[in-house]
Copies of this chain bind each other. A is one copy, B any other.
């Protein structure tokens, strides 16, 4: 089947899904049960993917991402049930008014229509993304990585069956079988069919999609995040936050990559911070002043280090003169994901939250909280680092658009 045909089927399915109401939850609950029932088949398909991966010399970390177990299939099913339990994001009355001419205007949330998701090796994304799209009334075209194709096929087949069993078109969920580069490019160019394309994966994938797609895209994921330790910070708190934000899970986008320290507290704070980070063998890369305080053993930070999302036990450190210099550094290097100030000073907290331009701006808390679940969105399809449409964690509501319903009694203009 061509992508155009898949697009046309998705568009057709989306019409039914837009008015599906509670049948969406019925489908999600049935799909959860069906995933558990089909666990054997899914694990068998996954074993084929794993074998192919091992034969191709895939690294252990990658094999781990690819691997499914009974527990992981159970987690997928649980995820579907959680999504079913969330409030329907479609049909919310967002606002409205009666115009002077008597027209009654109501702004109501509606699905986006057809969503495309391009992702890499994790087969659980197939179930997670399909569930969020289904619940938000969007038909979805999934294009996963070739490493996981058999697992994805097995999961998608189960989901499609459950959707159909609930009286909705199976084509609400479609998986692209062709995992060549062409199918990826094809999705990026599927104008007229895709209302949004969301890439989920590494920086390279995201950059390619953002630059090449002709359909509307939501850019997700890259997080070059900072903690700024103010002159009036609680230094123990600052050390705790930095330790948590750097080391609790360095590979994720809401981990920090650079610490900025006010010069007035650098002499006291930097050794405190280093002691904590040494517990996890975090490699520091410092500016000249940082190295004067911590010693020449600290590697010098380059211009490139300020701009790098290490996603590793590496942290760049810079001593700044004041809040202005911290804000300017962040403006120059931030990817607009999550930024934090540690301070007890009211004015500085206000200035930082107002002047720093990022999806989430923190005072005295770890950047690791930038997450759909932690923010109370219930679930998350990704974290947007762009400013159009949605910013920060994207949950169900961020997968909707709206329309204006205008009721009259013959008004003309």
* Structural contact, A364 and B248, CB atoms closer than 8 A: no
**Count of this chain's copies in the oligomeric assembly:** 2
Tell me how far the C-beta of A98 lies from the nearest C-beta in chain B, rounded to whole angstroms: 10
Given contact pairs A387-B112, A391-B403, A365 touches B105 in the complex (Cβ within 8 A): no
Given contact pairs A216-B388, A357-B403, A391-B401, A412 touches B15 in the complex (Cβ within 8 A): no
Contact residues in B for A375 (Cβ distance below 8 Å): 99, 105, 404
Asked whether A51 is an interface residue with its Cβ less than 8 Å from the other chain, the reply is: no
A364's contact among B360, B368, B407, by CB below 8 Å, is which?
B407
Asked whether A241 is an interface residue with its Cβ less than 8 Å from the other chain, the reply is: yes
A392's contact among B237, B354, B404, by CB below 8 Å, is which?
B404
* Structural contact, B403 and A358, CB atoms closer than 8 A: yes
A342-388 contacts to B, CB under 8 A, are 349, 353-355, 357-366, 368-370, 374-376, 386-388
Given contact pairs A355-B15, A357-B18, A191 touches B218 in the complex (Cβ within 8 A): no
CA distance A392 to B110 in the complex (A): 13
Closest B-chain residue to A195, C-beta based?
B387
* Structural contact, B195 and A386, CB atoms closer than 8 A: yes
Closest B-chain residue to A393, C-beta based?
B404
Tell me how far the C-beta of A293 lies from the nearest C-beta in chain B, rounded to whole angstroms: 24
Asked whether A333 is an interface residue with its Cβ less than 8 Å from the other chain, the reply is: no
* Structural contact, B110 and A363, CB atoms closer than 8 A: no
A195's contact among B237, B359, B364, B388, by CB below 8 Å, is which?
B388
Asked whether A190 is an interface residue with its Cβ less than 8 Å from the other chain, the reply is: no
* Structural contact, A387 and B355, CB atoms closer than 8 A: no
Query: Residues of A with Cβ closer than 8 Å to B?
Result: 15, 18-19, 97, 99, 103, 105, 110, 112-113, 191, 195-196, 210-212, 214, 216-218, 234, 237, 240-241, 243-245, 248, 331, 349, 353-355, 357-366, 368-370, 374-376, 386-389, 391-392, 401-413
